[in-house]
Amino acid sequence: MKTRPAAPSAARIAVVAAEAALEPAAGELARRLGVPLLAADAWRAGGGGPVVLWCDTEGLAVRGPAASGARPVRPRPPASARAGRDPLLRAVGRWTEVLDATAGLGGDAGTLAAAGRQVTLVERSPVLAAVLDDALRRWRAAGVAAAVRMRLVGADSRAFLVTAIADVVFLDPMYPEAPGGGRSRARKAEAPHLLRLLAGDDGDQAELLSLARRAARHRVVVKRPRHAPPLAGRPPNGSLPGRTVRYDLYAPEEVHP
Ligand SMILES: C[S@@+](CC[C@H](N)C(=O)[O-])C[C@H]1O[C@@H](n2cnc3c(N)ncnc32)[C@H](O)[C@@H]1O
């Protein structure tokens, strides 16, 4: 993974090794990230707060509190979508080079890479970047072809996009959680909730969109909840509705040679 100075993570979380044999590697990771290492027993007894960086024999994951009963959440291996049907692939179009400036757990980037796109994933949370880096290494070692087309950069896209150029820039920033959430305890342990705990609500969306429009040769694609207002209130040039989400398309601000 290429690393550039990243914005501090919204949460200072602990690394937990699921078993004693993994403690040396987990301790090294904790040192690298500058966060504490917590014993699995202490986590089971309620330590570690609302989210930890979980280290087990399947790799790195993020995980909610032991009391929630939630399982580790980790990136899913890239899976092919049907090119003509998947709204994300339709939104990106025929272009080959995609910069995913809000990588998260890499689900959308994986869909694009599985469909043959070269994807640069930029993630500013050092914890999420570590989880993604670990998953990419494992997939490559297992011969997952799409993983070879995925390149991770641990950085804040607001800095990265200043000098980057790609056919398409893809943005999927956090969408604010409804007050109170209306979410059950069980649902709160799911990936979006953990991502939000780690990444916070992204408050820099107007800047990100305008930098993305300068970095894109052909288009910017923004993923939004289906009925949400457009990103930063900026009307898109077009939209592709999916079942639960919508892809807003923006033209580049400059034409790149
Ligand atoms: C909703 S998640 C993206 C989920 C992703 N599309 C997936 O399939 O897993 C948003 C992610 O964007 C990251 N992010 C937000 N602003 C960023 C920025 N300026 N630079 C890099 N990453 C950013 C957050 O840390 C968070 O992980």
Looking at the domain assignment, is residue 98 inside a domain? yes
Q: Given the CA of residue 75, which atom of ligand 1 is nearest to it?
A: 9
Q: Do 209 and 92 share a structural domain?
A: yes
**Pairwise CA distance, residues 99 & 116, whole Å:** 14
Q: 192 pLDDT band (50/70/90 cuts)?
A: confident
Tell whether 14 and 118 lie within a shared domain. no
Q: At CA 216, angle to CA 215 and CA 220, rounded to 5?
A: 120
The reply to whether ligand 1 has any atom less than 6 angstroms from the CB of 73 is no
Q: Which candidate, 15, 87, 89, 97, places its Cα nearest to that of 56?
A: 15
Among protein residues, the one whose CA lies closest to atom 17 of ligand 1: 102
The pLDDT of 75-86, averaged and rounded, is 82
- 107 CB under 6 A from ligand 1? yes
131 and 233 inside one domain: yes
* Contact of 16 with 52, CB cutoff 8 Å: yes
Alpha carbon distances (Å) from 101 to 7, 137, 153, 162, 214: 14, 20, 9, 12, 13
Of 177, 179, 180, which is closest to residue 201 (Cα–Cα)? 177
CA distance 191 to 105: 9
pLDDT tens digits, 132-177: 999 999 999 999 999 999 999 999 999 999 999 999 999 999 887 6
For residue 189, is pLDDT > 50? no
pTM of the model: 0.92
DSSP3 helix / strand / coil % (the chain, rounded to 5): 35, 25, 45
Q: Which residue has the tokens 């807003």?
A: 248
Ligand 1 proximity of 158 Cβ (cutoff 6 Å) = yes
Query: pLDDT digits over 65-77, tens only?
Result: 999 998 999 999 9
Domain boundary among 16, 33, 68: 68
Q: What is the CATH number of the domain that holds 97?
A: 3.40.50.150
Given a cut of 60, is residue 80 above it in pLDDT? yes
Residues 116 and 232 in one domain: yes
Range of the domain at 138: 87-250
**C-alpha distances out from residue 17 to 23, 125, 141, 168, 210, Å:** 5, 20, 22, 38, 41
The answer to whether position 12 is within a domain reads yes
For residue 203, name the pLDDT band (cuts at 50, 70, 90). confident
Distance 55 CA to ligand 1 centre (A): 21
Nearest ligand 1 atom to alpha carbon 100 = 6
Residues 105 and 214 in one domain: yes
Residue 5 has a pLDDT of: 39
Total domains in the chain come to 2
Say if residue 127 is in the same domain as residue 221: yes
Q: Does one domain contain both 166 and 229? A: yes
Whether 26 shows a pLDDT value over 50: the answer reads yes
Both 9 and 114 in a single domain?
no
Question: Could you count the other beta carbons within 10 Å of the beta carbon of residue 19?
Answer: 11
| HSE, side-chain direction, 13 A CA sphere, residue 12 | 4
183 and 228 housed in the same domain: yes
Give the mean pLDDT of the chain.
Answer: 89
Residue whose CA is closest, atom 25 of ligand 1? Answer: 199
For residues 47 and 96, membership in a common domain is answered with no
Indicate the angle between helix axes 191-199 and 126-141, nearest 10 degrees.
130
pLDDT of residue 180: 52
For the stretch 99-120, pLDDT in tens is 999 999 999 999 999 999 999 9
**127 close to ligand 1 (CB < 6 Angstrom):** no
